[in-house]
Amino acid sequence: MLRFILRRALLAIPSLFGLLVLTFFLIRVVPADPAAALAGENATPAQVAEIRRQYGLDRPLHEQFVVYLGQVARFEFGESAYSRRPVALDIKQRLPATLELTVSALLLATLLGIPLGTIAAVYHNRWPDTLLRVLSVAGVAIAAFWFAIELQLLFAMDLGWFPLRGRMSSGLAAPPAVTGFLLLDSLIAGRLDAFRDALHHLVLPAVTLSLGGIATIARFTRAGVLETLQKDFVLYERAQGFPSRALIWRFVLKNSVVAAITQIGLLFGALIAGAVVVETIFDWPGIGFYTVQAILTADYKVMLAVTLLIGVIYAAVNILVDLVHGLIDPRLREQL
Amino acid sequence: MSLVLDVRNLRLAVKTDEGRAQILDRVELALPRGRILGLVGESGCGKSTLVRAVLGILPKNAVIESGEILFEGEDLLRLSERELARRVRGSRIGFIPQDPYLALNPVFKIGAQLLPVMRWHAPAPADGPRSGAALLRAHRSRLVEILRRVQIPEPEAVLERYPHQFSGGQRQRLMIAGALACSPRLIIADEPTTALDVTTQLQILKLLKSLATEFDVSMLFVTHDFGVVAQLCDEITVMYAGQTVESGPTATVLGSPQHPYTEALLACHPDRARELAGIPGAVPSPLDPPPGCRFWPRCPHAIEYCRRRPARFSEGRRGQLVNCRLADPLPDAAA
Ligand SMILES: Nc1ncnc2c1ncn2[C@@H]1O[C@H](COP(=O)(O)OP(=O)(O)O)[C@@H](O)[C@H]1O
Ligand code: SF4
Ligand SMILES: [Mg+2]
């Protein structure tokens, strides 16, 4: 199993390297004068020259690339034009908020999507299936911002069940940052009040973000279960006298989720993109919100750092997906 | 002699996109207790459908129109799905599938597939442990014992392995062990050796024969290989196009076959060791079966009367059941 994981991790290296090359060229080559772009609009020619020297832009391309690799390895992304703080520091502070949101949404999507998809398959072409199909089309089609605002109107404004925005009530002291995940940090500090408050704040944004994911996972689970039900081993398991419900949840499902789990990996990209919208609407202090600001102010350094970050997260998630596949199917484990 | 399995006048149809297909039509089958019955016929004759009807695991679009399936005197067609699952399938009737490559769930260990069956049917010994871990241990040791009996090496370790780690012959032994695990009264084997090579086939057949005696279990053995039947079976039932055409003791049916289809099958391979091949023509589609005797388009003895003849059984020269005008003492219209 360890070999399997290592092998998968090694496989991610070429694509990460490709990402580095791509970003390198995007910054150094595509802008007519990268030094001018880096220095900003109001820089004097002297400042531009200084930046050119400082960034080594006067040196040959391959040397510049080595320098660039070094900077990335040391997380040196410079200072954000927008926040006037080191980009790495901004990201370090904001990343946990986004991860907390996306991971919660993903968890929600998985925990709801898999059972819903299974139920749809069991009631193939009967009303629960039809209903779920309609809902899943709606789930994919509904615009996140519209849904978010509807949720805010109903559950925050009218019913007052959940807070309208933010990650934590302003009156409440945040627990000391250990992981940066408010839920975890509250538990570590033994602060149940903070935990409840953070969870309360998380519900609406996480539900909004999970919507498309629930639909996608349900759809792929349904297809997977329907396919598995055609297999000989299901007939054999039925011939052994298992009641059909036990058979589905106990035996069929595990064979059926492979495709859905691949989708979960792909979904993570969509979730990060969705986080931009959701964080903006719910005033969630994460990377998405930060990136919007960076794009609006053409903050190169932030965009570069965020691009690399998303690439790394994407690779990590896909390694994780392969790992789960390996855990599910022993034949995959042995292929490597 | 009491019958373990007695299928009477079974008719079954399937609704397909192209219309209604009569898959089984007046099937008769009688398996005496303690015997091995070979169910023979070309591919597409409805053997597997009959097996699935007995086990109650028919596809959703199949409808049983009439007939009885008496298992130890009880009509299985009158039992609910729940009762069948609880006290027939897997417990009193064991099943050995055709393709051991496909019949084991690839993502579960052998133990995780076979032990839950025993737990579900829980044949707890009267004086033995009744619950929890002790029961699991009892099932485990029984399974290990059976695995040893079907000649699986290192049976304890086998429970922790995955299906793909076994050869075809070993997998079929696992299926046999699975069928025996809950001490069934009847084992149904649907072409259990077709997917295997010849040497392995022979070993498996020998094993089945000795196990049937040792475990005192009756067996319905589906095959399209007369060589296998001659070697293994006490009784034969021949099916053609969804109908029983001839049945009786092996020696009688092989020695003096009376239905032209049985004759044709036997003539195809005089050494009786090869697979069926070479009767001119093909099994008719169940969507559009020929009227009268279903064999007439391929029968060398067919006459006009055969097209109108309903399926009707009569006793053959040596007591076997034959579904043909040639054995009929009262042909309505002689030629
Ligand atoms: N679910 C089904 N829908 C339509 N036709 C079926 C179905 N199952 C079996 N059949 C048809 O029934 C006939 C008998 O099939 P089967 O019982 O598998 O025969 P055998 O096992 O003797 O080869 C075949 O013509 C097959 O195409
Ligand atoms: S009834 Fe006629 S067609 Fe059918 S098997 Fe007998 S002789 Fe042949
Ligand atoms: Mg078959």
- Highest mean pLDDT: which of A306-310, A318-322, B150-154, B318-322? B150-154
> How far is Cα B200 from Cα B192, in angstroms, rounded to an integer?
11
> Which of 1.10.357.10, 1.10.3720.10, 1.25.40.340, 1.20.58.410 would CATH assign to domain A93-296?
1.10.3720.10
Local structure of B235: helix, strand or coil: strand
Interface of B with A (CB under 8 A): 52, 55, 57, 81-82, 84-86, 88-91, 95, 97, 99, 102-108, 113, 116-117, 120-121, 162, 164, 175, 178
**φ, ψ dihedrals at A259, nearest 5°:** -65, -40
Q: What b-and-e string marks burial along A52-84, b requiring 16 or more CB atoms within 10 Å of the CB? A: beebebeeeeeebeeebeeebeeeebbbbbbbe
On the 0-12 / 13-18 / 19+ scale of CB atoms within 10 A, B109 is middle
Interface contact A254, partner B, CB < 8 A: yes
* pTM score, whole prediction: 0.84
Ligand 2 neighbourhood includes B302 CB (under 6 angstroms):
yes
Q: How far is B231 from chain A (nearest CA, A)?
A: 27
Q: For residue B311, how far is its CA from the centre of ligand 3 (angstroms)?
A: 23
Q: Quote the tokens at residue B244.
A: 């029983």
Which residue's entry shows tokens 């006490």? B234
Whether B308 lines ligand 2, by a CB cut-off of 6 Å, is no
Q: Is the CB of B306 under 6 A from ligand 2?
A: yes
Each residue's pLDDT tens digit, B166-211:
998 999 999 999 999 999 999 999 999 888 888 888 999 999 999 9
More confident residue, A168 or B295: B295
Q: Do A242 and B102 touch (CB under 8 A)?
A: no
Check if B46 has its Cβ closer than 6 Å to any atom of ligand 1: yes
Residue B48 in contact with ligand 1 by CB distance below 6 A: yes
Q: What integer pLDDT is reported at residue B185 of this predicted model?
A: 95
A1 Cβ neighbours under 8 A, 6+ residues apart: A326, A333
Establish how many alpha carbons lie within 13 A of residue A32's alpha carbon, considering only the half-sphere containing its beta carbon.
0
Substitution target from A229, A238, A240 for chain B, most B beta carbons within 10 A = A240
**Quick check: A302 pLDDT over 90?**
no
In the predicted model, what is the mean pLDDT of residues A188-214?
Answer: 90
**Do residues B260 and B297 lie in contact, with contact meaning Cβ atoms separated by under 8 Å?**
no
Provide the pLDDT for residue B125.
60
Residue nearest to atom 1 of ligand 2 (CA): B324
Bigger pLDDT: B256 vs A43: B256
B55/A255 touch (CB, cutoff 8 Å), yes or no: no
Residues in chain B within 8 Å Cβ distance of A256: none
How far, in Å, CA of A183 to CA of A194, rounded? 8
Q: Which of B50, B182, B178, B103 is nearest to A235 (CA)?
A: B103
Give which of A64, A314, A142, A239 is closest to B184, Cα–Cα: A239
Q: Which two tokens stand for residue A276?
A: 């931009």
Mutate which of B299, B321, B322 for ligand 2? The one with the most ligand atoms within 8 Å of its CB, which is B299
**In angstroms, what is the C-alpha Rg of chain B?**
21
As a whole number of angstroms, the distance between CA B217 and CA B95 comes to 12
Cβ(B289) – ligand 1 distance below 6 Å: no
List CB contacts (< 8 A) between B186 and chain A: none
CB A235 within 8 A of CB A177: no
Q: Which atom of ligand 2 is nearest to the CA of B306?
A: 2
pLDDT of residue A336: 58
CA distance B139 to B136: 5
The minimal CB distance from B121 to the residues A241, A255, A328 is found for A241
**Is B122's pLDDT higher than 80?**
no
What are the tens digits of pLDDT across the range A45-72? 888 888 777 777 777 878 888 888 888 8
The domain ranges of chain A are 2-73, 93-296
Q: Which helix (H) or strand (E) holds B28?
A: strand B19-32
Residue B107 is nearest to which of A244, A246, A328, comparing CB atoms? A328
Nearest Cβ partner of A255 from B105, B120, B164? B105
- CB-facing half-sphere around the CA of B246: CA atoms within 13 A: 31
- Distances in Å between the Cα of A23 and the Cα atoms of A14, A17, A30 are 14, 10, 10
* 8 A C-beta contact, residue B295 and residue B260: yes
Closest-lying ligand 2 atom to the alpha carbon of residue B299: 8
Arithmetic mean of pLDDT over chain A: 85
* Percentage of chain A modeled with pLDDT above 70: 96
Asked if the model's pLDDT at residue B69 lies above 90, the reply is: yes
Which pLDDT score, from 0 to 100, does residue B335 have? 46
Q: Which pLDDT value is given to residue B281?
A: 83
- Say if CB B34 and CB B234 are below 8 A apart: no
ipTM for the predicted complex: 0.88
The pLDDT value given to residue B273: 44
CA distance to partner chain A, nearest, from residue B263 (Å): 34
Convert the pLDDT of each residue in B293-309 to its tens digit.
999 999 999 999 999 88
Nearest to A238 among B57, B121, B164 (CB): B57
Q: What are the C-alpha distances in Å from A66 to residues A22, A55, B215?
A: 14, 12, 75
The CA distance from A263 to the nearest CA of chain B, in Å, is 20
Quick check: B85 and A242 CB within 8 A?
A: yes
Please say whether the beta carbons of A111 and A257 come within 8 A.
no
Please report the pLDDT score of residue A32 as a whole number.
61
A59 shares contact with chain B (CB less than 8 Å): no
- H-state helical runs in chain B: 47-55, 81-87, 100-103, 110-121, 132-149, 155-158, 168-180, 198-214, 226-232, 250-255, 260-268, 304-308
- Domain B3-92+182-334 of CATH type 3.40.50.300: yes
**Per-domain residue ranges of chain B:** 3-92+182-334, 108-181
pLDDT at B79: 94
Q: Cβ A241–B104 below 8 Å, yes or no?
A: no
Residue B236 alpha carbon to ligand 2 centre in Å: 19
Neighbouring C-beta atoms of residue B227, cutoff 10 Å? 17
Which range among A120-129, A194-203, A261-270 shows the weakest confidence by mean pLDDT? A261-270
Instruction: Write phi, then psi, for B137 (nearest 5 degrees).
Output: -65, -40
pLDDT of residue A11: 82
Residue A282 and residue A278: Cα distance in Å, rounded? 6
Q: Sorting pLDDT into bands at 50, 70 and 90, what band is B314?
A: confident
Rounded (10°) angle between helices B110-121 and B132-149: 120
Closest chain A C-alpha to B304 CA, distance in angstroms:
43
Pairing of strands B3-16, B62-71: antiparallel
- Please give the pLDDT value at position B130: 63
pLDDT band at B108 (very low <50, low <70, confident <90, very high): very high
Contact A235 B178 (CB under 8 A): no
Of A283-292, B228-237, B263-272, the least confident: B263-272
DSSP letters along A42-87, please?
Answer: T--HHHHHHHHHHTTTTS-HHHHHHHHHHHHHTT---B-TTTSSBH
Minimum mean pLDDT range among A140-149, A174-183, A287-296, B108-117: A140-149
